Structure 1
Amino acid sequence: MNLAALESEQAVIGAALYDPDTCDVALERLRPDMFFEPYHVAAWERIGLSRRTGSPADALVVTQALAGHPAAEAFGPGYFTDMVDKAVLWSVASHIDTIADRAVRRQVQSLAKDIASRCDDVLDGSGDLLLAELERGAADVARASGSASLAIPAGLDAMEMLEAAWRGDNRGVPVGLECLDRVTSGIRQEDVWVIGARTSMGKSVFGLNLARAISQKGRGSMIFSLEMPRREVQARLICDLAFERRRAFPDCPNPNVRYSDILQGRSIKDQRSLANDGARALASLPMVICDAGGLTIDDIRVQALRQMRAWDRAGVARGCVLIDHIGLIRPVKKGDSKAADTADIVNELKSLSKAIRAPIICLSQVNRGPEGRQDKRPTVADLNWSGAIEQIADFICLLYREAYYLERSADRGDRDSAVFVENKLELLIQKNRSGPTCNLEAWIDVACNAVRDNEVSLSDDRSRHG
């Protein structure tokens, strides 16, 4: 197959120089690097510049602008004028599709040749590394060609969508907290959830509980732990599952298992039995942990795509990707500042969720703003990189534990009263595309890595909603 499509390039350039409206449509679909002929690349760059600056974009302007191009003499002074004379507007859409298609094919061909040429060299990295580079390159090609995808009519399948909604098919996957499921209807495919809090408020506890609950629905959950090693994540999940098992048997004499006891090898016999049950439960869940440090958003995309495909082959539904936490994702290219780098990373999260067709749960740090206020409950403005997060997130929940501050108070009365609220966790929902923004209350045991519904507040909520 001829991957150049020179006739289509000539047809599109001629039509763009002839008709401004056609030019604008073509500029939205095609970038200069999608053209094969270098002279056409330079012409398209000039046409785009003219349209952006409001200056004329005709054959004479382009010819004069490219007079110094190495190929100008070979193509001749009447090259673009001939294109305009032969312009046919009704066929432009087909030529645009052809140019975009050939551009993707050339990129895929180049990527495949590069990887294939290195396959024979066993010293050039590992097979897994080559596969990762291939997947990363394919993701880059797909992302770059996304601007060429056609929009879908708004009314297409509208009745089918509505019927599915009445059946409840549009509800998301339950996240293990009934109070949260009531206001979100669960987490949906391609959602981006952001969980923010100050240090030691329970972000990791909360995030791991959500991932565990989703996996218990038979859906695969992938955890990118960029801070904690895998053993600590395992210990936390075991404690959470052991807590769940003990809760199912209220008369069980075994005390709850704390993850610090597991990490330090400090336990009593009854705790070991309960922890063993938690470990067996964890082994049965479709859940994987990646604790590699220094990952970029592209690294996360490649590994997540590979894992999702593996689950597809095994017949496991896609569950979620948990990232702990946003601030530790390494930028692909270093920018002017850490804030700019992380803002770029945050902006990539939505495209990542679409690429893997699964929701993403991101943990994020809250800055020191609440420490200087009397009411220390955080707001969206207290999130690091709050502007970028607020723009892309479908759901933002900030966590607050009053006990954290009472335990550290200089007032002895405050420290003594901390015991009365030690299990109280406030969920401050700041953004919710699927429902209301509100404040909820849950029950938490940080030492056991357990977050559960607060039965008192849940019963009040049920009475209000019938």
Structure 2
Amino acid sequence: MNDAARKLAPLAKDQADQHYREAPNNLEAEQALLGAILVNNDAFYRVSDFLKPVHLYEPLHRKIFEIAGEIIRMGKTANPVTVKTFLKADEKVGDLTVAQYLARLAAEAVSIINAEDYGRAIYDLALRRSLITIGEDMVNIAYDAPLDMPPQSQIEDAERRLFELAETGRYDGGFQSFNDAVALAIDMAGQAFERDGHLSGISTGIHSLDGKMGGLQRSDLIILAGRPGMGKTSLATNIAYNIAASYEPEVQPDGSFKAKNGGVVGFYSLEMSSEQLATRIISEQTEVSSSKIRRGDISEADFEKLVACSQMMQKVPLYIDQTGGISIAQLAARARRLKRQRGLDVLVVDYVQLMTGSKKSGENRVQEITEITTGLKALGKELNVPIIALSQLSRAVESREDKRPQLSDLRESGSIEQDADVVLFVFREEYYVKNMEPRDEFDPKYEEWKMQMEKVKGTADVIIAKQRHGPTGTVKLAFQSEFTRFSDLADPSFTQYEH
């Protein structure tokens, strides 16, 4: 053998070893865990909140874990005798039958105390196997360089899969058993029972609105629309600040934090800068007019109020992104990052028409808006948070006698109405009545106008035009224009009415 051949021989052997590397697994840990469960069913509840059948490496072990779990959840005893009836009798494990293998697992079982450690080890190995699969896919796609998947969309796809893996322990989406779905629904009802105000969703801080909507429901797309000057941004900032200010974290068993009340809010302000948004919120909280704050036309007492308010606001988990013309893909990537780093409970986008879609939709604005709303709906589901997306209304409202918005007024796309779980319209009659003021004070119509103005002054209607999980109708709120603040009406004679 010449020198070159001698040098290449170990290299070829290394490559062969690499080629046949086995995926990380630990069959002994799986056997030990299953044995502990078959001997003492309490061991199952030590791992069931994080370990699923799919995390086990050996297909037979997956089947045993799944069957034992179903038996235990039904309140029955899972042991070698009850489990074997659900497995093929003629199946072999080496020289053993399935019945003998189950008996061997139980006989060699470790104590229940170690069950969680074994469960964690199995789960971690499953994550490593998933990481290998994602990594291999990334490498293969990057080598192939397919035309329909440029590097940017490959990065977004990899980021989405890694986020899903970090959040849920799996990245394939896939089917979820109805048992799991029922358990989640019961958990949600339990959380609503314990939460302030007994709401199934996150409280907006405006009680009359919560009464109609049950709070903001996770994974819902809530469209908040209105003509310019109606106060849709004000209502969105009010709600965002209320949620962030009432945030109460609760430590989970795995050391992470979850919102007991309120929540962490991500606010995409495509129209206003973060300073303008902060000025609005300070104005709402201190009751010092935002125009006075901007001009510096404030007293010393007002300034002290502002300083005290800003110190309190520094602790509030409200994160603002002021990138103009952000694309749905960028928005999703940043929201995932925020959820991983700081947590995320509510997302606000101000507003949809200022976002951009992909180049694929070309010049067609309707297609672009469809892509944006579909993307927002998918993002809400992926992150499991409500998304409040603001939207403009078409000018058709202005040419009508009755200026109340309707679903058909949503601008540029029927997909906004279709993808939304809730559609809210902000309508302030005061805005229109004010513009109708007769020029002449002695005009006979002036008194009539004055009476009408008194009736609508300081009020706003939030019209719930669509709601998948509840009634439609109108909620009357108080609106203080100088502080751009919405709140519940003190006067109970204003009732909510349903359609």
Please indicate the TM-score interval, normalised by the length of the shorter structure.
0.5 to 0.7
Q: Which residue of 2 aligns with 1:67?
A: none
Distance in 2, Cα, partners of 1:292 & 1:222: 13
Offset of 1:268 from its aligned partner? 2.1
2:267 aligned to which of 210, 214, 223:
223
How many matched pairs? 333
Measure how far apart 1:153 and its partner are: 3.3
Give the aligned residue type for 1:291.
Answer: Q
Matching residue's letter, 1:431: K
Q: How does 1:237-276 map to 2 (within 5 A)?
A: 237-242=281-286, 256-276=287-307
CA distance in structure 2 between the partners assigned to 1:158 and 1:285 by the alignment: 34
For 1:257 and 1:196, the matched residues in 2 are separated by 27
Can you give the 5+ residue segments of structure 1 that lack an aligned partner in the other structure? Answer: 4-99, 115-129, 243-255, 313-317
Match of 2:356 in 1: 330
| Contact in 1 for aligned 2:191/2:200 (Cα 8 Å) | no
For structure 2, list consecutive stretches of 5 or more residues without a partner in the other structure: 1-17, 21-129, 145-150, 194-198, 248-262, 440-445
SS in structure 1 of the partner of residue 465 of structure 2 = strand
Q: What is the rounded CA distance, in whole Å, between the counterparts of 1:196 and 1:410 in structure 2?
A: 26
Letter in 1 for 2:349: I
Q: Deviations over 1:349-405 (max 9, x none)?
A: 111112322211111001111111111000111011351112111111001101111
Q: What is the rounded CA distance, in whole Å, between the counterparts of 2:183 and 2:345 in structure 1?
A: 27
SS at match of 1:397: strand
Structure 1 residues 71-82: aligned runs within 5 Å? none
Q: Which one-letter code corresponds to 2:356 in the other structure?
A: R
1:426-460 CA distances to partner (integer Å, 9 max, x unpaired)? 01101112211011100111321211011224885
**Shift of residue 232 of structure 1?**
0.5
Secondary structure class of the residue paired with 2:218: coil
Residues 260-299 of structure 1 mapped to structure 2, 5 A cutoff: 260-299=291-330
The structural deviation recorded for 1:305 is 1.1
Cα displacement string for residues 139-179 of structure 1 (whole angstroms, at most 9, x for unaligned residues): 46679999964322335453673475266357111111101
Does the C-alpha gap of structure 1 residues 410 and 361 become closer, same or farther in structure 2, counting only changes over 3 Å?
Answer: same
The correspondence for 1:439, drawn from 467, 474, 481, is: 474
Q: Residues 339 and 420 from structure 1, CA distance in 2 versus in 1: closer, same or farther, beyond 3 angstroms?
A: same
Please show how residues 405-420 of structure 1 align to structure 2 within 5 Å.
405-409=432-436, 411-412=438-439, 413=446, 416=450, 417-418=452-453, 420=455
The answer as to whether partners of 2:265 and 2:345 remain within 8 angstroms in 1 is yes
Contact 2:405 2:425 in 1 (8 A): yes
Greater relative CO (CA pairs within 8 A, separation 6+): 1
From 401, 411, 426, give the equivalent of 1:384: 411
Q: Deviations over 1:43-66 (max 9, x none)?
A: xxxxxxxxxxxxxxxxxxxxxxxx
Letter of the 1:270 counterpart: A
> Partners of 1:278 and 1:418 in 2: how far apart?
33
SS in 1 for 2:491: helix
Partner residue, 1:107: 137
Tell me which amino acid in the other structure corresponds to 1:107: D
2:177 aligns with 153
- TM-score (normalizing by structure 1): 0.64
Amino acid of the residue matched to residue 227 of structure 1? E
In the alignment, what sits opposite 2:443?
none
Structure 2 equivalent of residue 235 of structure 1: 279
**1:113/1:231 CA distance change after superposition, 3 Å:** farther
SS at match of 1:456: coil
Are residues 307 and 362 of structure 1, via their aligned partners in 2, closer, same or farther at CA, if it must alter by over 3 Å?
same
Summarize the alignment of residues 65-76 of structure 1 with structure 2, pairs less than 5 Å apart. none
Match of 1:165 in 2: 189
What one-letter code is carried by the residue in structure 2 that aligns with 1:404? Answer: Y
Identity among equivalent pairs (%): 24
Q: Aligned to 2:390, which of 363, 367, 382? A: 363
| Structure 2 match to 1:183 | 212
2:453 and 2:349 mapped to 1: Cα distance?
A: 31
**Is residue 196–residue 398 contact of structure 1 (8 Å, CA) maintained in 2?**
yes
Match of 2:381 in 1: 354
- Residue of structure 1 aligned with 2:370, choices 343, 346, 349: 343
CA 1:326–1:458 in 2, change beyond 3 Å: closer, same or farther?
A: farther
Q: How does 1:80-119 map to 2 (within 5 A)?
A: 104-109=134-139
TM-score by length of 2: 0.60
| Residue 423 (1) aligns with residue 423 (2) | no
For 2:322 and 2:275, the matched residues in 1 are separated by 9
- Alignment partners' CA distance in 2, 1:271 and 1:164: 43
Query: What does the per-residue CA deviation read over 1:256-304, in whole Å, with 9 as the maximum and x for residues that have no partner?
Result: 3111221222222232222223222221200111111121011111111
Cα distance in structure 2, aligned partners of 1:160 and 1:327: 35
Aligned-residue offset at 1:461: 6.1
Q: Is the 8 A contact 1:240 1:278 kept in 2?
A: no
Letter in 2 for 1:425: A
Task: Give the aligned CA root-mean-square deviation in angstroms.
Answer: 3.4
Residues 1:374 and 2:418 aligned together? no
195-204 or 399-408: which moved more? 399-408
The CA distance in 2 between the partners of 1:280 and 1:267, in whole Å, is 18
Q: Is the CA contact 1:209–1:451 (under 8 Å) kept in the aligned structure 2?
A: yes
Q: Please name the residue that 1:248 is paired with.
A: none
**8 Å contact from structure 1 (residues 301, 356) kept in 2:** no
Q: Distance between the aligned counterparts of 1:327 and 1:226, measured in 2?
A: 10
Supply the AA of the counterpart residue of 1:301.
Answer: A
Corresponding residue number in structure 2 for 1:301: 332
Amino acid at match of 2:302: Q
For residues 367 and 224 of structure 1, the distance between their equivalents in structure 2, rounded to whole angstroms, comes to: 22
